[in-house]
């Protein structure tokens, strides 16, 4: 979280115990425990619920159920890329920007895609 969220930000999560140390890291942590609250996830965490729902629908629709665990990071990267640009005024440039990024990024061998170390690139 420290790599993705600015210190001092308010972080709203579910009640998972793994988030307990956020206050000590300088975040304002607001846990919304669904169990026993009498409310649904879509009421307590509406945006999270919506994004999770969109992700599931995208995975099923685009990949038609052929999703592998070893490529999950890349599926999530693509979903994030598309989600963050869904309201862009320059959507016509989306393919152009994607090609620019592909040309600027060094190639990755298949072994590098399925390993946890995603920084593995080919040389020469």
| Domain residue ranges in the chain | 1-31, 46-114
Q: Select from 14, 46, 48 the least CA-distant residue to 30.
A: 14
- Rounded to whole angstroms, how far apart are CA atoms 121 and 44? 42
- Rounded to whole angstroms, how far apart are CA atoms 120 and 107? 9
Q: Which tens digits make up the pLDDT trace of 9-42?
A: 998 887 788 888 888 888 999 888 877 778 877 7
- Rounded to whole angstroms, how far apart are CA atoms 32 and 10? 13
- Rounded to whole angstroms, how far apart are CA atoms 34 and 14? 7
Rg over alpha carbons for the chain, rounded to the nearest Å, is: 18
CB of 71 closer than 8 Å to CB of 114: yes
Q: pLDDT 10s per residue in the chain (124 long)?
A: 788 788 889 988 877 888 888 888 889 998 888 777 788 777 777 787 788 888 888 888 887 877 778 888 888 888 888 888 777 777 677 778 888 888 998 888 888 777 655 444 444 4
Q: Which residues pair with 10 in a beta bridge?
A: 28
Q: What is the pTM of this model?
A: 0.47
């Amino acid at each position: 979280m420290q790599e993705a969220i600015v210190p001092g930000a308010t972080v709203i999560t579910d009640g998972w115990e793994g988030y307990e140390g956020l206050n000590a890291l300088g975040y304002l942590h607001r846990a919304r425990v669904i169990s026993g609250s009498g409310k649904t996830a879509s009421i307590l965490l509406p945006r999270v619920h919506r994004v999770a729902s969109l992700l599931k629908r995208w995975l099923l629709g685009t990949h038609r159920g052929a999703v592998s665990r070893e490529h999950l990071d890349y599926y999530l990267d693509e979903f994030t890329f598309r989600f963050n640009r869904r309201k862009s005024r320059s959507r016509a440039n989306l393919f152009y920007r994607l090609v620019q990024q592909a040309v600027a990024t060094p190639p990755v061998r298949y072994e590098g895609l399925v390993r946890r170390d995603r920084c593995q690139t080919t040389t020469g």
